[in-house]
Each structure stands twice: as C-alpha cells, then as structure tokens.
Amino acid sequence: MKVIEYRPTKTLEPFVKAIKIIESHEEIQNRVLPGTSIAMAFCFSGQNSYTVNSDRIVLPKAVISGLRKSVRLINYSQNTSTLIVLFKENGTAAFFKEPLYALFEKSVLLDNILNPNEVRNIEEMLCEAKNNLQRVKIVELFLLKRLNNPNPDIIISNAVAQIQQARGHIRINELADRLYTSNDAFEKRFRKSIGSSPKQFASITRMSAVIPSKPTGRLLETAFDAGFYDQAHFNKDFKLFTGQTPTEFYKSSSFW
C-alpha cells in the first residue's frame, strides 16, 4: 500500500488537514482507528469495502464518513486508488450545511447530501485525470466552490483546542463554564460543528493519546495518566477502539 499526502491550497488550509491518495496494488485489509476528523473519500479505481462480523460491505465510490468510537476494518481490492479529504475538526461545517452529528458512526453516500449530478461529474473527472496532482486540483476546486461558511465557530474551535491540550482528560461542564456558555447550548453547537458530542470527542481524543504508533514505556501507566482508573475499564475501551487487546494490537503492523 502506498499513501501520498498533499497539503491543501492556502485558502483551504484553515479547514482541511490533508488530501491523501491511497494506492493498493495488492488486496489488503487495513485497521483504521477512530480519529477526530470527518473524512470524504472518492474511490476512482478498484473497490473498497469494510468488514463487520465477518461480512464484507461494499463502500460506494463517493462517501463521507463521520467520527466514530470503534475501529473499522477497510478492505482494498487489487489495484485500488482512493482520494481522501481529511477535514480539520472544525472545518467540515464550512462546506456542508447538514447537521454533522447525523454522520456519527456512519459512512454516507455523498449523493445523499450533495447534488448527485455534481458527484457523478467529480467521479468522472477523477477517473479521466492524467495524474494524482490533477485529481487533487479537481477536488480542491470542488471544495473552494462549496466554501460557504469561512468563519468557524470560535467557541467550538477553542473547545477543541482545550480538549486536545488536555489529551481528552477534561470535565465537559467545566469546559462549558470556561467558555461562558450553558451546557445545553455548548452541546448543540459542538455536535453541529464537529459531528459528535463533546464527551464523545474527548473520549476519542483520550484514547488516541494513549495509543502511540509504537508503544513506549508501560502502557498501563500511560492509561492511568490519561484518566483511566482501573485496568478493566481501560481494556474494555481499548478493545472497542482497536478491536483487539493491547498485546494483539501491537503485534499487528497494519493500522492507522
């Protein structure tokens, strides 16, 4: 598997983390861990699917995937190429008017939230493009045309920054107080802009901080530092997040 990462054009930088193209010449399964960013994907060659309870479910050619709290096993068929737009945490709302929380734990056909003709046009252009750089430019132009809310919610941006600084170990009601907003209002604004509740986002952030790409030191000590107070609770959340026990997980070489 080959992953090529592109930085977005300057106008898109406040909203997009990266644009990636994943090329798989051989059939492969990848373990994709939960993250804090919504992603939009266009498969312009081959076919992608994901595995649930040993069943393979084919993914549409163009999808948008919300935040999730559990691992996903993605299957790439032979000679598959996929372009992925990874949005910044508070960036997706700049392009889509739909409530992002409806995407939580889901991968939704892009036709469901965009004009299907517009989606077909992008798919055709991506297939006909001569190289990956052209494909990136096609998607960037599409995003620039959809940029309808270039001013992210400052309160929610501050909330995301504080949750990340605390590595997810934070009391949400105290965070709302520091931002001078009520719990209910904060929850609604956060869900609309980020695609999850503040508590769900903090939980994903906390576990992401515990699981480095390579384990260093004693993992359980790291978990205690992150606010897990007993091993049973940690093991349960770890398995939900990765689909494996810590020992099984770190023996695997294919995960993001």
Instruction: List the domain boundaries for the chain.
Output: 2-146, 154-251
pLDDT exceeding 90 applies to what percent of the chain? 75
Tell me the average pLDDT across 35-56. Answer: 92
Q: Which amino acid is at 32?
A: V
Classify domain 154-251 by CATH architecture: Orthogonal Bundle (1.10)
Given pLDDT bands bounded at 50, 70 and 90, which one contains residue 230?
A: confident
Q: Which residues are bridge partners to 40 per DSSP?
A: 64, 85
**How high is the pLDDT of residue 247?**
80
d(CA 67, CA 37): 6
Q: Assess contact for 193 and 152: CB atoms under 8 A.
A: yes
**Digit-coded pLDDT (tens) for 105-129:** 999 999 999 999 999 999 999 999 9
CATH 3.30.360.10 at 2-146, yes or no: no
d(CA 39, CA 84): 7
- How is residue 44 written in tokens? 């312009």
**Cα-to-chain-centroid distance, residue 87:** 8
> Is the pLDDT at 218 greater than 80, yes or no?
no
Considering the entire predicted model, what is its pTM? 0.91
Q: Which value, in Å, is the radius of gyration of the alpha carbons in the chain?
A: 19
